[in-house]
Amino acid sequence: MKLAFSTLAVPGLPVPEVVRLAGAYGYDGVELRAHPEEPVHPGIGAAERARVAGEFAEAGVRILAVAGYARVAAEQADEAVLGELEDLIRLAGDLGAPYVRVFPGGGGSPAAEADARAARRLGAVAPLAADRDVRVLLETHDSHPRAADTARVLGPVGHPSVGAVWDVLHTWLGGEEPAVSFPAVAPHLGYVQVKDVASAEDPTPLALGSGVLPLGACVGELSRAGWDGWLSWEYEKLWHPHTADFAQLAGPGRQYLLGLLDGAGAA
């Protein structure tokens, strides 16, 4: 498996520093938060996109994903949601990123209505994603926290350019153990987001391995299935600025994940 981190860990950091950080601590890729307050977002022009792609390529660091904030199950006009999705897909294609991350955002809508909206919109942008060699991935999050919830949407879409991000925190908060989550998400899986927290009531990010999330069980499920994709550490310092700087944790975090992978392989 390959290791990445999310720029939520280093909010607002200029691209050259993100690239340097990845190289310094041995990460294979970076998940770029695509928000207007960040250096890379759909509003940047062609020249800037080419420059960013070149900096990552020159350093041998992969842009794993454009982490967008489109909410595909939201009670909004289709035109607005589809426009946001299309902008994210084009950005990812220009950067050479294989994935776009999106949220469900179904709110309080009945599950069947939220599922139908999400499936319709994801299906509508699938041809553009295929044309740009990008997969749009629905994260296990908010209104659809469990792998089973995400699978309800993705099954009807049935397109290889649409899939899932398995956020281990949210499936765990939804009451799913990794042994249940993985079979449900496996047919759709793009990559996996890992993190650690103190408890279900306290989402403050912690160093990997120092909290309660079943990261070993998650990696074990992936390894037993022969899955050879990406683990991306989403250390959410942006939302918790008082926490330790990512640079203090990046090296030990990588070693922790490599230890899990070695242990799973030996088992």
Calpha distance 257→54 (Å, rounded):
28
Strands 62-71 and 29-33: parallel
If residue 233 lies in a helix (H) or strand (E), which one and from where to where? strand 230-233
pLDDT in tens, 234-252: 999 999 999 999 999 999 9
Report CA-CA distances (Å) from 37 to 7, 13, 33, 143, 200: 12, 10, 9, 25, 29
Among 148, 138, 240, residue whose Cα is nearest residue 195? 240
Under-70 pLDDT residues of the chain: 265-267
pLDDT in tens, 195-245: 999 999 999 999 999 999 999 999 999 999 999 999 999 999 999 999 999
Strands 162-167 and 29-33: unpaired
In this structure, what token pair is assigned to residue 193?
């987001």
CATH superfamily name and code, 2-266: Divalent-metal-dependent TIM barrel enzymes (3.20.20.150)
pLDDT value, residue 264: 73
In this structure, what token pair is assigned to residue 144?
């659809």
